[in-house]
């Protein structure tokens, strides 16, 4: 018996119900063995009598008899296993506080390796072996060890919580899903877990994307800061150069006046020195004559000396120091005027560069164009052609005023575009809201949904502000930039080449889509035949 037991393994003496070595083993007619108490309790808790392993159903409950032969062998195996367990217990990992212990171990509790959701028992490596080798137990659901497995059972039906009710957001058992949660959306726990895991993963991904967006925003902010610093340094450098230039001009002006004074004084001094020299010569001559005893010759000679031209009267001759009174004040005022003009220009240049960042691609919409307008194939040019084309008078088309809108509309944010007006004697430019009147005579005022400026009679510029505002421009622009800030209610027009602000509509109320608006004006027998051209923005550094 001892030799035979050495050839047997623990699996052959384990009850598949309690997963321990047989106690009072009984054999069923199907050939499977169980502990007498285990199979009895199993049949007591089920409606039908069947083998837990092979599922064979017995019409009547079999009469159970303890198999003494297997009982003796199991007792010997249990004793041997206990001895082996006691000798190797020191080698096994004893569970520590906070770790899940094995529920099967007696005496010293070993750390559990897995928990079975079917048996509701946690097993160490040794007692887990049957679940890894016995076919019936292999189907059990194992998981990382957890405590309080009874919490995974439905308190109402004593069934495993293996489903999730989406309506009530709680775990339920199979019986719950067909009773209290019959009409609810119930899914397996794994499906809900995967859904939650994917949801969390998506949340993580969104936040990672947001982090990248924030990093990009910081980079753009850094670039904007560097650009603003560069532009600021440029502005202040230009102002500094202007101040230094005016300072140099002031110093040179004062020095020039001083040089003129010195030059005048030097002239007087040379003239005086020359007269002194002449007088010295005459004095020498007089002294020489005074030694002569020929009185007649003396008087005749002296008379000739008196007949010489009289010397200059220097009594009233003065060198007046130049007056510097008010020089510095005038220079500062001139500097102030220069800096003011220069600042306006520099600020406008900076502002123009800023709004040019909001460049949009604008093309003309032929469905809105007056029948006498000629549009280029690329939708970038428009001019008046005198001849009226036979086009359908759709609701979007202007039928009397030679106008056209863009295909693009805007209902938020900022946008900017440029239009070449070179060579024209008449034009209208700006933006218009979607609901403007397009038929008959049109008043281009903000009250009617238009924010525009126009040129007439070659050099007469006005802003159609209702009433019109005359614009005083030093020179006519060849390219006009149009900038709109929808939320701020701002429409600004720029002379692009001069980097100068032409006019701004402020406090505009935009409540619907707005469109870039163009009117090349009438042809006037070829005098105004040049087209309006939507030009790409040329960004200057």
pLDDT at 457 over 50: yes
Answer for the pair 412, 485: CB distance below 8 angstroms, yes or no. Answer: no
Residues 6 or more apart in contact with residue 243 via CB below 8 angstroms: 335, 339
- Report how far residue 190's alpha carbon sits from residue 24's, in angstroms, rounded to the nearest whole number: 40
- The percent of residues above 90 in pLDDT, for the chain, comes to 36
pLDDT at 70 over 60: yes
pLDDT, tens digit, 9 for 90 and up, residues 414-452 = 999 999 999 999 999 999 999 999 998 899 999 999 999
pLDDT, tens digit, 9 for 90 and up, residues 178-195 = 888 989 999 998 899 898
At residue 90 the predicted structure's pLDDT band, cuts being 50, 70 and 90, is very low
The rounded radius of gyration (Å) of the Cα atoms in the chain is 55
Contacts of 314-318 spanning 24+ positions with Cβ under 8 A:
314/272, 317/268
What pLDDT does 514 receive? 97
- Report how far residue 295's alpha carbon sits from residue 308's, in angstroms, rounded to the nearest whole number: 20
- pTM above threshold 0.75: no
What is the number of residues in the chain? Answer: 541
Alpha carbons within 13 angstroms on the beta-carbon side of residue 89 total 15
Helix axes 189-290, 295-306, angle to 10 degrees: 150
What pLDDT does 241 receive? 86
What pLDDT does 5 receive? 43
Min mean pLDDT across 8-22, 286-300, 405-419 is at 286-300
- Report how far residue 155's alpha carbon sits from residue 187's, in angstroms, rounded to the nearest whole number: 19
Most confident of 21-30, 144-153, 342-351, 459-468: 459-468
Contacts of 53-58 spanning 24+ positions with Cβ under 8 A:
53/16, 53/136, 54/30, 56/28, 56/29, 56/30, 58/28, 58/29
Min mean pLDDT across 195-204, 220-229, 500-509 is at 220-229
Q: Please, which residues bridge with residue 381 across strands?
A: 533
Query: Peptide bond before 467: cis, by omega within 30 degrees of 0?
Result: yes
Measured in whole angstroms, the distance separating CA 255 from the mean position of its chain's CA atoms is: 57
pLDDT, tens digit, 9 for 90 and up, residues 357-398 = 999 999 999 999 999 999 999 999 999 998 888 888 899 999
Query: Peptide bond before 446: cis, by omega within 30 degrees of 0?
Result: no
pLDDT at 37 over 60: yes
The CA–CA distances, whole Å, from 126 to 17, 20, 270, 504 equal: 17, 11, 129, 86
Query: Average pLDDT in the 478-492 region?
Result: 96
Number of Cβ within 10 Å of residue 535's Cβ equals 16
What pLDDT does 4 receive? 43
Show the 3-state SS of 189-252: HHHHHHHHHHHHHHHHHHHHHHHHHHHHHHHHHHHHHHHHHHHHHHHHHHHHHHHHHHHHHHHH
At residue 408 the predicted structure's pLDDT band, cuts being 50, 70 and 90, is very high
Output the average pLDDT for the chain: 85
What pLDDT does 7 receive? 54
What pLDDT does 83 receive? 63
Q: ∠123-129-130 over CA atoms, to 5°?
A: 100
Answer for the pair 386, 523: CB distance below 8 angstroms, yes or no. Answer: yes
pLDDT, tens digit, 9 for 90 and up, residues 92-147 = 567 678 788 998 888 788 889 998 888 888 999 889 988 888 888 888 888 888 88
CA-closest candidate to residue 61, choices 45, 49, 51, 47: 49
pLDDT at 404 over 80: yes
Alpha carbons within 13 angstroms on the beta-carbon side of residue 353 total 14
Answer for the pair 49, 58: CB distance below 8 angstroms, yes or no. Answer: yes
- Report how far residue 381's alpha carbon sits from residue 374's, in angstroms, rounded to the nearest whole number: 8
Helix (H) or strand (E) holding 143: strand 142-143
Helix (H) or strand (E) holding 355: helix 327-356
What pLDDT does 88 receive? 52
The CA–CA distances, whole Å, from 497 to 355, 362, 539 equal: 15, 20, 12
Answer for the pair 124, 108: CB distance below 8 angstroms, yes or no. Answer: no
pLDDT, tens digit, 9 for 90 and up, residues 269-319 = 998 888 888 888 878 877 777 776 666 766 666 656 554 555 678 888 888
């Amino acid at each position: 018996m001892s030799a035979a037991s050495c050839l047997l393994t623990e699996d052959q003496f384990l009850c598949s119900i309690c997963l321990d070595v047989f106690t009072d083993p009984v054999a069923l007619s199907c050939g499977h063995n169980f502990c007498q108490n285990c199979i009895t309790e199993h049949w007591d808790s089920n409606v039908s009598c069947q083998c837990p392993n092979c599922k064979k159903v017995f019409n009547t409950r079999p009469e159970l008899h303890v198999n003494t032969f297997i009982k003796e062998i199991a007792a010997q195996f249990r004793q041997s296993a206990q001895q082996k367990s006691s000798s190797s217990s020191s080698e096994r990992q004893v569970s520590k506080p906070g770790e899940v212990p094995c529920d099967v171990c007696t005496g010293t509790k070993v750390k559990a390796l897995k928990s079975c959701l079917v048996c509701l028992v946690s097993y160490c490596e040794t007692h887990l072996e049957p679940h890894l080798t016995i076919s019936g137990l292999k189907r059990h659901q194992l998981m990382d060890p957890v405590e309080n497995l009874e919490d995974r059972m439905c308190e109402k039906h004593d069934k495993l919580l293996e489903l999730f009710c989406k309506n009530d957001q709680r775990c339920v058992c199979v019986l719950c899903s067909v009773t209290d949660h019959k009409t609810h959306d119930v899914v397996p726990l794994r499906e809900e877990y995967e859904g939650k895991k994917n949801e969390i993963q998506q949340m993580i991904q969104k936040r990672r994307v947001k982090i990248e967006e924030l990093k990009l925003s910081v980079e753009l902010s850094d670039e904007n800061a560097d650009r603003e610093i560069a532009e600021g340094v440029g502005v202040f450098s230009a102002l500094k150069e202007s101040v230094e230039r005016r300072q140099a001009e002031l110093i040179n002006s004062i020095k020039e006046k001083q040089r003129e004074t010195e030059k005048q004084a030097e002239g007087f001094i040379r003239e005086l020195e020359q007269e002194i020299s002449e007088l010295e010569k005459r004095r020498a001559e007089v002294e020489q004559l005074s030694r002569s005893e020929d009185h007649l010759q003396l008087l005749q000679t002296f008379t000739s000396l008196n007949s010489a031209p009289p010397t200059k009267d220097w009594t009233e001759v003065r060198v007046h120091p130049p007056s510097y009174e008010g020089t510095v004040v005038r220079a500062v005022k001139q500097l102030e005027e220069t800096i003011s003009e220069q600042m306006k220009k520099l600020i406008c240049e900076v502002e123009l560069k800023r709004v040019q960042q909001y460049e949009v691609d604008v093309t003309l919409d032929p469905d809105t164009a007056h029948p006498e307008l000629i549009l280029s194939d690329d939708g970038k040019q428009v001019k008046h052609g005198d001849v009226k084309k036979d086009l359908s008078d759709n609701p979007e088309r202007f039928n009397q005023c030679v106008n056209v809108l863009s295909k693009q509309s805007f209902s938020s944010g900022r946008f900017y575009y440029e239009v070449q007006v070179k060579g024209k004697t008449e034009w209208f430019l700006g933006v218009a809201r979607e609901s403007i009147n397009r038929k008959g005579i049109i008043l281009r005022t903000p009250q009617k949904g238009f924010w525009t400026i126009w040129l007439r009679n070659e050099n007469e510029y006005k802003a159609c502000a209702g009433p019109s505002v005359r614009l005083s421009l030093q020179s006519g622009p060849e390219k006009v930039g149009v900038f709109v800030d929808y939320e701020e209610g701002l429409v600004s027009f720029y002379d692009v080449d001069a980097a100068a602000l032409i006019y701004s509509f402020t406090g505009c109320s935009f409540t619907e889509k707005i469109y870039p608006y163009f009117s090349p004006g009438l042809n006037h027998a070829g005098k105004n035949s040049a087209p309006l051209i939507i030009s790409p923005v040329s960004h200057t550094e």
